[in-house]
Amino acid sequence: MRLSSLLTSTARWGRAGFALGALALLSGCDYNFWRMDGHQSTITVAGPVARSQLEVFYVTCWVTLVIFILVGGVLAYATLKFRAKNEAEEKAVPPEQGHGNPLIELGLIGASVLALVIIAIPTLKGIWYTYDVPEDRKADTYEITATGYQWWFKFEYPSEQIAGTGALTTGNELVIPAGRPVRINIRTIDVIHSFWVPKLAGKVDMMPNRANFLWLQADEPGYFWGQCAEYCGDSHAVMRFRVIALSPKDFADWVAQQTSPARNVTPKPGEETPKAQFASLRTFKQNETGITDKYEIAPLEAWKAKQFPEKGENAALIAQGKALFASKTCASCHEVRGHGAAGISGPNLTHIGARSMLAAGLIENNAEQLRRWIRDPGSVKPGNKMAKGYLDNNIKLTNEEEVALVAYLQSLK
Amino acid sequence: MEAILKSDLHAKDTHAPAKSAIFWRPTAQTGLISWLTTVDHKKIGFLYGVFALFFFLVGGFEALLIRLQLMYPNGTVLTAQQYNTMFTMHGTTMIFLAVMPLSAAFFNFIMPLQIGARDVAFPRLNAFSLWTFVAGAIVINLGWFMHDGAPDGGWVGYAPLTSKTFAPDHSIDMWVMGLQLLGVASIAASLNFIVTIINLRAPGMTMMRLPVFTWMTLITAFLIVLSFPFITIALVELMMDRLFGTSFFEVSNGGMPILWQHLFWVFGHPEVYILILPAMGIVSEILPTFSRKPLFGYPIVVFSGASIGFLGFSVWSHHMFTTGMGTMATAAFSLATMAIAVPTGVKIFNWIGTLWGGHISMRTPMMFALGFVWMFMIGGFSGVMHSAAPADAQQQDSYFVIAHFHYVLIGGSLFALLAGIHYWFPLMFGRKVSEFWGKLSFWVIFAGFNITFFPMHFLGLNGMPRRTFTYDANLGWNAANYIATIGALILGVGIFIYFAVMVYTFLKGEKVGKDVWDARTLEWSLPNPPPEYNYRVIPTVHARDAYWYNKQHKEEIAQEEAEHAKAEAAHGGIHMPHQSIYPFVASLGLFIASIGIAVIDHDPSPGFWGKKIGLSMIGGVVMLAGIYFWALEGNEGYHLHPDDEGHAPADKKAAQH
């Protein structure tokens, strides 16, 4: 542990004490946590599966709340009523040494069983409903396979076959059609992970040697937060993903774009030499957040904007980046379909430029963050395989090479 | 310690000389040797307590680091790897090295006194359990001082994350071998307690007159004996995978990681009741004492404890609702889990029934016991929420679960254990904690605990997964995490006050006479601290709440005791077992062998495995030597003849037993 950071925290405690009272009472949207409407809320849900799970939760909540008030009330009453007020009362003749009352016991046992039956009925209904897509909607179901890797997610679309390469494959951003049931096959390549998009459905574990699945549905187009929910090693906390639900037409457009090969940007004659400024990258703090406000306010719009080529692309720089992608051995782990890169152990990068996030939902996909990521992946995501790959292959990137790679990757729309 | 040692002074110069040089019987009454060789259940219980409290503070420190890391989003107090180590060790430490041994401390110290016995059935086995526990605790924690680091596979150690592929260093090996040793210690201790409770009860102490704490000790001991073999098997399989390349959990060779989860939770769920049943027993002693009434519905409290024990074996898969078990298994485990709420609820009703119509004295132990009832209710209700599998699909592995089991384990187990320390402190040490400081520590702990863990319910429902070293600021988790950390610091202050007051009382507290609470069970009939032989005359039990009955029938009981004393004196006095070093030697052997298996590298040079095998063999030889000498030295003892004041000259020559 770093002592300096402990000291920093210590200095914060003083302020912390003052802030606490205000914090609990005043409400900025961030502070009143009891609203529970965050991006990963299980309360403000957006689909039928999560809604059904929420309804069961509410039943358990109300039943136990009523019991708590009744039993707690009696307990509080007994404690206050029979409390010895002074020493004389403590020492008074002991009360009647009664050993209990079977009728009261039986009555209370019966009441407890009844309360549990009230919970059991919706529970059983919920277990069957949330397990698989209802029969009458099976025909309309869209199927996707999600595979967990340490520490990212691969998504395959078996119904979108590409000649010569197989199913359409993406990483870390699951795009689904809104308003349709989606059945997701849950797989893992290494350890146990868990697939969890709280607003759409409860989690199902990605178990080795086990063909798990779940179903979910987004009622409306939207942008949803997901996260691995089973401890899976060093970077478990930053193994995240996003789900983007699109209207049927948008979804069809997206599939059309994704199934086409990687975009080519060819420099015009005479523009072969890159003319970019190779500024050095600022230093980032440990665990520094990589998300901007623009993205935070309207993530779906930010995502949609990423589908179009960036302004002011530098074709020469992109061409240089494309060459580096091969020479720096990126291509041995990553696939860029149509550009000769066919690695499979890392995420498919054919359309990386069109994703809103990088490093498994951890940092925003912009030039600065992308460069931060490829410069030192290990500091962004502890223990990850790309950092290890750099070490194993003794890969070092100059400022110029970083900028070229960034330009190339950003051009892959 | 002083108080316990004093009890020995009564029997000064009374120990028989050793029989021979080979089977040397230590007679030291003070100093290190006396502690290493003791077979007195009270001293062993005291040592269990000291080690448990030490590890409790270690686990608490780990918890504070965890909370500091999460105080702000994107915290930098710990690295990811350090954080993962912290939560792994926090869980392992608190469960196996703090709460279980603290319960064991009470089993050892209190249970034999409650049934009117002079020791446990196998005093040397009891010492062996203690030292094996200490060995296991050391092995688990060795990693802190080594290059490999402490274990970081989570306290549940799910395969295949703990396999050689994903955890190549020795930290998991140390975790495996440490837990194996703790299993040996727990099973040996439990067999001892079972035999003691079945066989060494005083005349008239029928099963349905046993104090509830002793009942819960018995049920817990059975749970340990029946559930630990499952984790033993799982750990052996994991060790085989890691050391010898077998494929129990190795996916590429067709192994099944789900097998680990089943084995782990078939142990792990009864383990939950191993942690909570002793607590329920303690509370079932304290509430009647301070209400000055018998426990309401004694038979139902006992039977509900037993049925919790039985049902506890049928609900393990509710820890696995999200592993894709299918609808039928999920439904079955869901309903079984709900069923277990009934006997648990029954206990709460009976505790309230005990208060009803009583004369409640609000002393510190009572405060903690009532705090237990309230907090355990909340933890129980969130448990019912988990039992509804569809709701659990959202709650599983989120902070909602963290909130739930800390309400059960801190608000439940720990509050009751803290209550028990206050309650029996006067009996153990003859001193009483100041009411003011005791109550102050209660309120600070109570407030800190709730400020820490209540917001975690909201965090969980708001989608924060557990075991995450960092989180982004945009998820609505900042305030709750911040408040939880402040609460944890308050809780830390409360615990500090509690233990500072304990230490002060131990050294300088107010001295009190016998039976300070006007209590109901036999242990309070003893002078404090109890002499090494416990009962000068084995009591005869005439009723449930035996001592309360005795206090109502003083003359008859005095007459009866005088007769029994005469009979016992004619019989040769009080038989006491000799001290022995060999249980410690056997444990030491286990410790050395574990180090060999867990820590030493495979030697790749031609002398293949030399060091590893060698050290393991040495350990095995030491252990076997310990066991053989233990068997051959015999179970001799000596006799004490205490007078009416408890002073006890002994026979000069060793009794042949």
- For A143-196, the pLDDT digits (tens) are 999 999 999 999 999 999 998 889 999 999 999 999 999 999 999 999 999 999
Element (H, E) at B637: strand B637-640
**Residue A228 structural domain:** 138-257
Please say if the pLDDT value at position A270 is more than 80: no
Q: Which residue has the higher pLDDT, B206 or A312?
A: B206
Q: How much is the pLDDT for A360?
A: 92
Query: For B650, which DSSP code?
Result: B
Return the C-alpha torsion angle B242, B244, B250, B253, nearest 10.
160
Other Cβ atoms within 10 Å of B255 Cβ, number: 21
Same-domain status, A252 and A362: no
> What secondary structure does DSSP assign to A58-87, as a single string?
HHHHHHHHHHHHHHHHHHHHHHHHTB--SH
Q: Which residue in A13, A104, A105 has the most chain B C-beta atoms within 10 A of its own C-beta, making it the best mutation to test that interface?
A: A105
- Nearest beta carbon to residue B360 from set A79, A96, A210: A79
The answer to whether the CB atoms of A67 and B322 lie below 8 A apart is no
Stretch B437-457: mean pLDDT, rounded?
A: 96
Give the least confident one: A81-95, A375-389, B142-156: A81-95
Q: How much is the pLDDT for B565?
A: 84
Q: Is the dihedral of CA B563, B542, B112, B501 positive or negative?
A: negative
Residue contacts between A and B (CB atoms, under 8 Å): 353
Burial class (CB in 10 A: 0-12, 13-18, 19+), A255: middle
Q: Which residue in B164, B169, B283, B338 has the most chain A C-beta atoms within 10 A of its own C-beta, making it the best mutation to test that interface?
A: B338
- Nearest beta carbon to residue A204 from set B324, B342, B374: B324
Per-residue pLDDT tens for B449-489? Answer: 999 999 999 999 999 999 999 999 888 899 999 999 999 99
Please say if the pLDDT value at position B418 is more than 90: yes
The answer to whether the CB atoms of B359 and A191 lie below 8 A apart is no
| Prior bond of B477 cis (ω within 30°) | no
Same-domain status, A250 and A315: no
Please give the Cα distance from B290 to A90 (Å, whole number). 9
Stretch B23-29: mean pLDDT, rounded?
A: 76
Domain ranges of chain B: 40-577
Q: Quick check: is A276 in a domain?
A: no
**Cβ neighbours of residue B383 closer than 8 Å, sequence gap 6 or more:** B337, B341, B404, B408
Same-domain status, A190 and A164: yes
Burial class (CB in 10 A: 0-12, 13-18, 19+), B496: middle
Q: Bridge-partner residues for A342, per DSSP?
A: A335
| Prior bond of B529 cis (ω within 30°) | yes
Please say if the pLDDT value at position B329 is more than 60: yes
Residue after which a domain boundary falls, among A91, A109, A131: A131
Same-domain status, A250 and A337: no
**Cβ neighbours of residue B36 closer than 8 Å, sequence gap 6 or more:** B131, B581, B584
Please give the Cα distance from A69 to A63 (Å, whole number). 10
Going by their DSSP bridges, the two strands A182-188 and B510-511 should be labelled as: unpaired
Please give the Cα distance from B393 to A35 (Å, whole number). 21
The answer to whether the CB atoms of B160 and A190 lie below 8 A apart is yes
Tokens 């210590």, residue?
A10
Q: Which residue has the higher pLDDT, A23 or B469?
A: B469
**Cβ neighbours of residue A402 closer than 8 Å, sequence gap 6 or more:** A281, A371, A374, A375
B385 contacts on A by Cβ (under 8 Å): 57, 60-61, 64
| Prior bond of B160 cis (ω within 30°) | yes
Task: Say if residues B589 and B620 touch (Cβ distance below 8 Å).
Answer: yes
Give the least confident one: A376-380, B399-403, B485-489, B650-654: B650-654
- Nearest beta carbon to residue B388 from set A20, A31, A123: A123
Instruction: Give strand ranges (E) for B574-616.
Output: 574-577
Q: How much is the pLDDT for A100?
A: 79
Domain count along chain A: 3
The answer to whether the CB atoms of B373 and A75 lie below 8 A apart is yes
A99 contacts on B by Cβ (under 8 Å): 294-298, 544
Q: How much is the pLDDT for B13?
A: 39
The answer to whether the CB atoms of B462 and A101 lie below 8 A apart is no
Q: What is the ipTM of this complex?
A: 0.90
The answer to whether the CB atoms of B338 and A116 lie below 8 A apart is yes
Task: Name the percent of chain B lying above pLDDT 90.
Answer: 77
A88 contacts on B by Cβ (under 8 Å): none
Q: Quick check: is A385 in a domain?
A: yes
Element (H, E) at A242: strand A240-246
Report phi then psi at A205, rounded to 5: -75, 145
The answer to whether the CB atoms of B71 and A213 lie below 8 A apart is no
Q: Which residue has the higher pLDDT, B657 or A378?
A: A378
Same-domain status, A306 and A402: yes
Report angle CA B539, B543, B544 to the nearest 5 degrees: 105
Task: Say if residues B467 and B535 touch (Cβ distance below 8 Å).
Answer: no
Q: How much is the pLDDT for A89?
A: 76
Same-domain status, A336 and A390: yes
B353 contacts on A by Cβ (under 8 Å): 100-101, 104
Q: CATH number, domain at A351?
A: 2.60.40.420
Q: How much is the pLDDT for B48?
A: 96
Q: Which residue has the higher pLDDT, B577 or B227?
A: B227
Please say if the pLDDT value at position A17 is more than 80: no
Per-residue pLDDT tens for B524-574? Answer: 999 988 998 999 888 999 999 999 999 999 888 888 888 888 887 777 788
- Nearest beta carbon to residue A30 from set B65, B361, B476: B476
Going by their DSSP bridges, the two strands A182-188 and A142-149 should be labelled as: parallel
Q: How much is the pLDDT for B181?
A: 96
Stretch B642-654: mean pLDDT, rounded?
A: 57
Q: Quick check: is A114 in a domain?
A: yes
- Closest by CA to A331, choosing from A407, A405, A257, is A405
- Nearest beta carbon to residue B463 from set A20, A40, A286: A40
**Cβ neighbours of residue B332 closer than 8 Å, sequence gap 6 or more:** none
* Distances, alpha carbon A317 to alpha carbons A329, A367, A402, A408, A409, in Å: 18, 13, 10, 7, 11
Q: With H, G, I as helix, E, B as strand and everything else as coil, classify residue A165.
A: coil
Q: Quick check: is A279 in a domain?
A: no
Task: Say if residues B544 and B209 touch (Cβ distance below 8 Å).
Answer: yes
Same-domain status, A37 and A78: yes
Task: Say if residues A281 and A368 touch (Cβ distance below 8 Å).
Answer: yes
Q: Which residue has the higher pLDDT, A281 or B151?
A: B151
Q: Quick check: is A5 in a domain?
A: no
Please give the Cα distance from A82 to A75 (Å, whole number). 11
The answer to whether the CB atoms of A234 and B397 lie below 8 A apart is no
The answer to whether the CB atoms of A99 and B71 lie below 8 A apart is no
Q: Quick check: is A382 in a domain?
A: yes
The answer to whether the CB atoms of A9 and B470 lie below 8 A apart is no
Determine the distance in angstroms separating the CA of B80 from the nearest CA of chain A, rounded to an integer.
Answer: 6
Q: With H, G, I as helix, E, B as strand and everything else as coil, classify residue B279.
A: helix
Please give the Cα distance from B541 to B209 (Å, whole number). 8
Burial class (CB in 10 A: 0-12, 13-18, 19+), A314: buried
Q: With H, G, I as helix, E, B as strand and everything else as coil, classify residue B410.
A: helix
B300 contacts on A by Cβ (under 8 Å): 100, 105
The answer to whether the CB atoms of A287 and B298 lie below 8 A apart is no
Per-residue pLDDT tens for A380-412? Answer: 999 888 888 888 888 888 889 999 999 999 999
Q: How much is the pLDDT for A291?
A: 82
CA of A200: which chain B residue's CA is closest?
Answer: B394
Superfamily of chain region B40-577: Cytochrome c oxidase-like, subunit I domain (1.20.210.10)
Per-residue pLDDT tens for B606-631? Answer: 554 577 888 889 999 999 999 999 98
Other Cβ atoms within 10 Å of A266 Cβ, number: 10
Same-domain status, A146 and A174: yes
Q: How much is the pLDDT for B288?
A: 95
Task: Say if residues A385 and A392 touch (Cβ distance below 8 Å).
Answer: no
